[in-house]
């Protein structure tokens, strides 16, 4: 097991075998996470992104669930993906038939492996499970399906029985067998022991959960022991503590073992798409795709990162489609603030820089994370520079009542007047849709948070609306106050979009590059 540790580009080594592939089960196991339900359109969008990233097998769902689920799976099989598309199937013939009705390429046939599942869950015997497995594998193969047999709760099964189960499955014609740590209860040592036994019968997969925080370690142990296909979900979504995260395994394989699997540059886009579809936000400190994975606030860390990007990062953020960000807050130092200002085409003198740093620290002391868009506003105010707006709200009208809420807006976009209308679930939603329509491609931003507070009391109360908008790795948080909640909401959203567009334009060509060899002022 010592070979698993000491990751880094300077001591990367190859697994044996090096041909590691992925089966993504976001659309099936990931959807079993409480509160997650994906529409046919959402499953199709995620499947396309998985295919584009290079995932070899996409488990599209459980055909046995319902007629609606079968329609959704059929939607995925009709996309013409390069990936093999499969359906989950229990150890009953009807499940295989349902999968065939969806025109899938294969089935992930799950049969009980531990005595707890064999005797208590399905009320069978070990011999009955073996006989049924042979029957179903032969039936599926006769109908032209790719077949993977998964021994459920395999990490807690008797190894001798699991060995027999794998042997008879392969002899019956299965394409591969899978080691399942169904409840995330195994250690890497146990995983290696079981997988090394199963791999003697043929191609072997690993399916791990993160209940003990060992999902990734168990995958690596299984691969070292002879497995060659990893079951994973994007962002680690799944029941309880989730499945092993696709993006984490892919990066670990490339960085620690020199094994190339997926198109890593597509990982962040994929992660954001799944987060939006499932409604499960990315944790700020989530590996690879979390907001803080490549963000630096501490003065010492910022100083070191400016001198050498590798100082406090294991790999460049561009590897996974990210950007490095210098996040400003209570721990910010003069060097970090100065560098961030330089990237946005601000060149304050020492007194102005001190004033900006003080304002940034004050915001940080009040619990606010200062984004690049916030810094632009602070710097413009300190330097007396009027912010050049790209988008401005000129007028707004909105109606609600018994009919569908509607709204119309008039915007000034790069000195061009634009008008548009929209409908929504309420006047605010309708107005935001109208703004999106008026802006077109420039409105490709997500509303990440929306918060309303009453500033004054009474029926004519003034309300403060705070919104956070996101475009890729960039966010802008803006507040607006008005007696009309719809107007306050739209003004905040438009202002946030304006700041994001200005920041994006600056980053794409105006900002100055920081020379890592240049002496940077210590904090």
Q: How confident is the model at residue 497 (pLDDT cuts 50, 70, 90)?
A: confident
Length of the chain: 523
Residue 479 DSSP one-character state: E
CB 412 within 8 A of CB 471: no
Tell me what the mean pLDDT of segment 372-398 comes to. 80
CB 163 within 8 A of CB 157: no
Stronger pLDDT, 485 or 239, i.e. the higher one: 239
Q: What is the pLDDT of residues 157-197, one digit of tens each?
A: 999 999 999 999 999 999 999 999 999 999 999 999 999 99
Please count the other Cβ atoms lying within 10 Å of the Cβ belonging to residue 453: 12
pTM of the model: 0.74
CB 501 within 8 A of CB 442: yes
Tell me what the mean pLDDT of segment 150-161 comes to. 97
Sign of CA dihedral 290, 282, 243, 26: negative
Tell me what the mean pLDDT of segment 484-508 comes to. 81
Using a CB cutoff of 8 Å and minimum separation of 24, what contacts does 335-339 make? Answer: 335/299, 335/302, 335/303, 335/306, 335/520, 335/521, 335/522, 335/523, 336/296, 336/297, 336/299, 336/302, 336/303, 336/306, 336/523, 337/375, 338/521, 339/302, 339/306, 339/514, 339/520
Residue 106: predicted pLDDT: 98
Angle at 214 between CA 211 and CA 216, to 5 degrees: 120
The span from the CA of 177 to the CA of 157, in Å, is 15
Query: Which domains are delineated in the chain?
Result: 2-6+17-278 (3.20.20.70), 295-387 (no CATH), 391-508 (3.30.160.270)
Distance of CA 318 to the CA centre of its chain: 16
Sign of CA dihedral 152, 158, 159, 162: negative
Residue 426: predicted pLDDT: 87
Average predicted confidence (pLDDT) for the chain = 86
Question: Comparing 14-28, 128-142, 294-308, 388-402, which segment has the lowest mean pLDDT?
Answer: 294-308
CB 240 within 8 A of CB 209: yes
User: Which one, of 360, 358, 353, lies nearest residue 327 by Cα?
Assistant: 360
Between strands 57-62 and 84-90, the pairing is parallel
The span from the CA of 286 to the CA of 280, in Å, is 12
CB 113 within 8 A of CB 122: no
Q: How confident is the model at residue 484 (pLDDT cuts 50, 70, 90)?
A: confident
CB 411 within 8 A of CB 394: yes
Angle at 237 between CA 233 and CA 241, to 5 degrees: 120
Q: How confident is the model at residue 221 (pLDDT cuts 50, 70, 90)?
A: very high
Q: Is the pLDDT of residue 53 over 80?
A: yes
User: Which one, of 430, 404, 435, 402, lies nearest residue 420 by Cα?
Assistant: 435
Residue 461: predicted pLDDT: 61
Please count the other Cβ atoms lying within 10 Å of the Cβ belonging to residue 200: 12
Please count the other Cβ atoms lying within 10 Å of the Cβ belonging to residue 133: 22
Residue 304: predicted pLDDT: 53
Hey, which residues does 418 pair with through a beta bridge? 411
Residue 243: predicted pLDDT: 98
Residue 205: predicted pLDDT: 98
Three-state SS for 109? strand
CB 266 within 8 A of CB 52: yes
């Amino acid at each position: 097991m010592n070979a698993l540790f000491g990751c880094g580009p300077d001591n990367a080594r190859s697994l044996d075998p090096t041909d590691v592939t992925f089966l993504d089960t976001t659309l099936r196991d990931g959807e079993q996470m409480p509160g997650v339900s994906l529409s046919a359109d959402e499953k199709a969008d995620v499947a396309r992104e998985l295919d584009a990233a290079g995932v070899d097998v996409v488990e599209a769902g459980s055909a046995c669930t319902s007629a609606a689920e079968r329609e959704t799976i059929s939607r995925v099989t009709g996309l013409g993906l390069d990936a093999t598309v499969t359906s989950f199937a229990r150890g009953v013939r009807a499940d295989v038939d349902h999968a065939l009705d969806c025109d899938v390429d294969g089935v992930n046939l799950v049969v009980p492996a531990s005595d707890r599942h064999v005797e208590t869950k399905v009320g069978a015997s070990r011999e009955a499970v073996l006989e049924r497995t042979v029957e179903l594998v032969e039936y599926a193969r006769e109908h032209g399906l790719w077949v993977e047999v998964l021994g459920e709760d395999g990490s807690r099964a008797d190894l001798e029985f699991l060995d027999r189960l794998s042997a008879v499955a392969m002899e019956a014609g299965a394409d591969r067998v899978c080691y399942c740590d169904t409840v995330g209860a195994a250690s890497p040592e146990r995983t290696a022991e079981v997988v090394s036994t199963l791999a003697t019968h043929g191609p072997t997969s690993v399916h791990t959960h993160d209940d003990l925080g060992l999902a990734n370690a168990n995958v690596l142990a299984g691969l070292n022991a002879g497995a060659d296909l990893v079951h994973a979900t994007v962002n680690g979504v799944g029941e309880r503590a989730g499945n092993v995260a696709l993006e984490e395994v892919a990066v670990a394989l490339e960085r620690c073992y020199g094994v190339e699997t997926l198109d890593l540059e597509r990982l962040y886009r994929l992660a954001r798409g799944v987060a939006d579809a499932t409604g499960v936000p990315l944790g700020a400190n989530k590996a690879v795709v979390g907001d803080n994975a490549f963000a630096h606030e501490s003065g010492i860390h910022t100083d070191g990162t400016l001198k050498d990007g590798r100082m406090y990062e294991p790999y460049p953020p561009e590897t996974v489609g990210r950007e490095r960000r210098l996040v400003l807050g209570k721990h910010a130092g003069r060097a970090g603030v100065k560098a961030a200002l330089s990237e946005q085409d601000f060149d304050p003198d020492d007194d102005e820089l001190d004033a900006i740093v003080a304002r940034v620290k004050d915001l940080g002391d009040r619990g606010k994370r200062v984004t690049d868009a916030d810094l632009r506003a602070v710097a413009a105010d300190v330097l007396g520079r009027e912010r050049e707006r790209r988008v401005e709200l000129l007028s707004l009208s909105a109606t609600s009542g018994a009919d569908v809420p509607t709204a119309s807006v008039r915007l000034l976009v790069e000195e061009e007047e634009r008008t548009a209308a929209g409908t929504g679930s309420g006047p605010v939603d309708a107005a935001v849709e109208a703004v999106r329509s008026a802006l077109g491609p420039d409105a490709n931003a997500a509303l990440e948070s929306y918060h309303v507070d009453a500033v004054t009391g009474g029926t004519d109360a003034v309300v403060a609306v705070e919104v956070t908008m996101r475009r890729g790795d960039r966010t802008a948080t803006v507040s607006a106050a008005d007696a009309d909640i719809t107007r306050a909401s739209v003004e905040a959203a438009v202002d946030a979009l304006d700041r994001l567009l200005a920041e994006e334009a600056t980053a794409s060509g105006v900002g100055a590059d920081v020379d890592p060899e240049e002496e940077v002022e210590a904090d």
